[in-house]
């Protein structure tokens, strides 16, 4: 069975019906992991997704801010709950699809000052990474696991538009890069988009609204990730190579999110 996963920071789900409908028509994901839905569970537009063929839901929302959801054409089962947000925000939701565990995260952005003693938001971000690293370090890497979402770190030199400049800016500072690399090492995770686009090439999934033309300014960051356990390697490389893509064109559609969807295909 093909499983096409899309991860997308939708930046408020309720006003984006037309955008979501077009994305579904053109990309046809089986499972969509959403971040920043910015609504409570009872406010989530289930009917809109059901009309598009998604009838299975896992939603963790809160009023006005944050919020994550997984919508699926395929039946969902419960996954082990994770308690990784020390402030109790709606930043994590998980499920099982066809025997594959999917954990969807919206990790805190971290504010402006890259110092956890001076900036509680930055401390919250690093604490989140520490909890995830400890959790996945306990897991058997042979079990099929996808860690996805807006992880709010661009850890590679070519995951940012300017490595030297961005090394001083939250999202690409050395301590955040180290936290992300520690997370990847903890589960021996495979960074699927980088299996397709080599680390020597630029790759981004987020572009600021401040630029009138995001392609002309070309100041993107790769904040959105699909990491898989070794136990999913065969499913991800079933054609002999990984199939994963950042759908940059979606960022240029009418009334877009500032993030583009990222997809990956599996045969499970």
pLDDT score recorded for residue 211: 87
Tell me the per-residue pLDDT of 48-65, one tens digit each, with 9 for 90 and over.
999 999 999 999 999 999
What stretches of 97-231 show up as alpha helix (H) in DSSP? 120-137, 163-166, 174-186, 192-196, 214-217
CA of residue 241 relative to chain centroid, distance:
21
Tell me the per-residue pLDDT of 224-257, one tens digit each, with 9 for 90 and over.
999 999 999 999 999 999 999 999 999 999 999 9
Q: Once rounded to an integer, what is the mean pLDDT over residues 147-151?
A: 98
The pairs formed by 15-19 with CB atoms below 8 angstroms and a separation of 24 or more are 15/255, 16/255, 16/257, 17/45, 17/48, 18/254, 18/255, 19/250, 19/253, 19/254, 19/255, 19/256, 19/257
Tell me the per-residue pLDDT of 77-99, one tens digit each, with 9 for 90 and over.
999 889 999 999 999 999 999 99
Short-list 104, 26, 27, CA closest to 71: 104
Q: Which residues pair with 147 in a beta bridge?
A: 103, 227
Q: What is the C-alpha separation between 88 and 4, in angstroms, rounded?
A: 30
Tell me the per-residue pLDDT of 6-49, one tens digit each, with 9 for 90 and over.
999 999 999 999 999 999 999 999 999 999 999 999 999 999 99
Q: What is the C-alpha separation between 191 and 92, in angstroms, rounded?
A: 20
Kindly indicate the confidence band of residue 115, based on its pLDDT and cuts at 50, 70 and 90: very high
Q: Once rounded to an integer, what is the mean pLDDT over residues 143-148?
A: 98
pLDDT score recorded for residue 41: 98
- HSE (side-chain half, CA atoms, 13 Å) at 72: 21
């Amino acid at each position: 069975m093909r499983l096409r996963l899309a991860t997308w920071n939708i930046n408020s789900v309720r006003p984006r019906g037309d955008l979501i409908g077009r994305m579904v028509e053109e990309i046809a994901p089986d499972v969509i992991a959403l971040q920043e839905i910015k609504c409570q569970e009872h406010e989530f537009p289930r009917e809109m997704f059901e009309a598009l063929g998604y009838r299975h839901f896992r939603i963790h929302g809160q009023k006005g801010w944050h919020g994550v959801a997984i919508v699926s054409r395929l039946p969902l089962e419960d996954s082990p709950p994770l308690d990784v947000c020390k402030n109790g925000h709606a930043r994590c939701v998980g499920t099982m699809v066809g025997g594959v565990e999917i954990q969807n995260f919206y990790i805190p952005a971290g504010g402006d000052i890259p110092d956890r003693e001076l900036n509680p938001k930055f401390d919250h971000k690093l604490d989140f990474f520490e909890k995830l690293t400890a959790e996945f370090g306990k897991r058997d890497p042979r079990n099929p696991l996808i860690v996805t979402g807006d992880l709010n770190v661009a850890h590679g030199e070519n995951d940012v538009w300017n490595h030297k400049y961005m090394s001083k800016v939250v999202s690409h500072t050395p301590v955040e890069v180290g936290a992300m690399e520690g997370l990847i090492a903890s589960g021996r995770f495979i960074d699927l988009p980088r299996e397709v686009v080599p680390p020597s090439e630029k790759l981004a999934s987020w572009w600021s609204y401040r630029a009138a033309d995001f392609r002309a300014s070309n100041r993107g960051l790769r904040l959105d990730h699909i990491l898989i356990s070794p136990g999913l390697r065969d499913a991800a490389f079933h054609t002999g190579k990984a199939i994963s893509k950042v759908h940059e064109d979606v960022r240029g559609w009418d009334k877009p999110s500032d993030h583009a969807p990222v997809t990956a295909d599996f045969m499970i």
